[in-house]
Amino acid sequence: MITKEDLHSYVEIERKEIIKRGDDFFQCAELGFCEVQTSKKIIDLLVDWGVPYQKDVALTGIIATIGQENGYHIAVVADMDALPKKDGSGTIHSCGHSIQTTIALTVLKALLDSNVLAQTDCKVSFFFTPAEEFIDFEYRDGLIAQGKVEFRSGKQNMIALGCFDGVDCVLSAHANGEVDTKFDVGSTLAGFMAKKAVFVGRAAHSGVAPHIGRNALHGATLAMSGISFLKDQFAPDKGLRLNPVLAECGGSVNVIPQQTVLETYVRANDNETLLEACEKVDLCLTHCAKALELDCVITNTVGYLPLRQSNKINSIVKENMLQFCSPEEIMENPVSGASGDVGDLSFLIPTVQFGFSGISGRFHDDSFQISDLENCYINAAKVMLGIVYDMVKEKNNRVLTSNYKEKKEEYLSFIRKNS
């Protein structure tokens, strides 16, 4: 059978092509659900390589599958979308999603050229997923209103469409901002829920008869204190973050505020904490309102679920990284306050997302630049390829999804209830 080194040599053959392609995708920065040119570039390559694919999935997404029908099914997932520039002059790939697209295509091409899957019982699907950044709500909510998508994120829609049904594991990679290490493995990503609480009281003249009013701002202020006390009830490793703001105070110095709007994200490192914290925040909001004879209407908008990584796959990830760096150059289990819709996938299917360095400048900023082409395009792709190889070659390295159907039903009813 073909060796891992043989597989890596296919990347070497394409080296120049890969780096050129990476730059091409980096220049093609499109916002979520608008990745039309990116999608076209991917399709052109797939057609050229003779790979079957589905297009226009969740508007601009693509799924390409190679290997054995009904085999052990590995998903390699890559984001496609970019962000608006801070200076308002267009868009930029300031989260490095173009690198993910490039890596996925490199892995696909090497598997194809080597024909390694023909000797196995496996298939590998490449998911090019739109709209990962949680932004641009007006546009996305418009698409939802028109029935073009159901949710704001690409992967959430692809899950609902059944695209991940039958997938046994999910492999992904994301650029990180580290300078002292080459890779990270086992990182957390926080889950979050956006909450909006509208406190409703009764307006009155603040000089003549304040006592007949019911001050909505007082209710929100009381709740702000309660919410900050709540943080003490969670251990630090739970990653709970609550940062309420008063989006609307309501009223003037002359009028007792009739309506005040408090908004907050609830962020946490695991689902249990996220749900527990949401419940406690709701209790806090409603009881503070009640204490002052106010009404409080809470609406939730689900963000992303926390990323829960598969330890078993991550031990394979780490072994593959060690081919390209020393142990000290791998950061293990970092805690991140960032979020991603790969978290939603990890609720359903054993999932990993490893990190690779090679970025200068800041993420989500116009200063973002790809500075280490070797690590971003070549090493990271070889790591991903090595993980796939280890799983297709050795059955003991495989993990299986359990209770997918039940979990998917639970997941969809949760996000539909909170969207």
Q: Would you say 95 or 385 has its CB closer to Zn ion?
A: 95
Minimum distance from residue 349 beta carbon to Zn ion (Å): 19
Minimum distance from residue 257 beta carbon to Zn ion (Å): 37
First to last CA, the chain: 49
Q: Would you say 72 or 134 has its CB closer to Zn ion?
A: 134
CB 128 within 8 A of CB 78: yes
Rounded-to-integer distance, Cα 317 and Cα 104, Å: 16
Minimum distance from residue 80 beta carbon to Zn ion (Å): 11
Q: Which amino acid is at 6?
A: D
Tokens describing residue 397: 């390295």
Q: Would you say 14 or 81 has its CB closer to Zn ion?
A: 81
- Nearest Cα neighbor of 98 from 22, 42, 37, 34 is 22
Minimum distance from residue 149 beta carbon to Zn ion (Å): 19
Q: Would you say 95 or 159 has its CB closer to Zn ion?
A: 95
Minimum distance from residue 174 beta carbon to Zn ion (Å): 6
What does the binding site for Zn ion look like in residue numbers (CB under 5 A)? Answer: 95
- Nearest Cα neighbor of 110 from 24, 1, 6 is 6
Q: Would you say 362 or 405 has its CB closer to Zn ion?
A: 362
* CB-based closest residue to Zn ion: 95
Residues 6+ apart with CB under 8 A from 396: none
Residues 6+ apart with CB under 8 A from 362: 94, 177, 368
CA 327 to chain centre: 27
Q: Would you say 362 or 416 has its CB closer to Zn ion?
A: 362
Rounded-to-integer distance, Cα 230 and Cα 242, Å: 9
DSSP 189-229: B-EEEEEEEEEE-B--BTTT-GGGSB-HHHHHHHHHHHHHH
Q: Would you say 194 or 200 has its CB closer to Zn ion?
A: 194
Minimum distance from residue 419 beta carbon to Zn ion (Å): 21
Minimum distance from residue 196 beta carbon to Zn ion (Å): 23
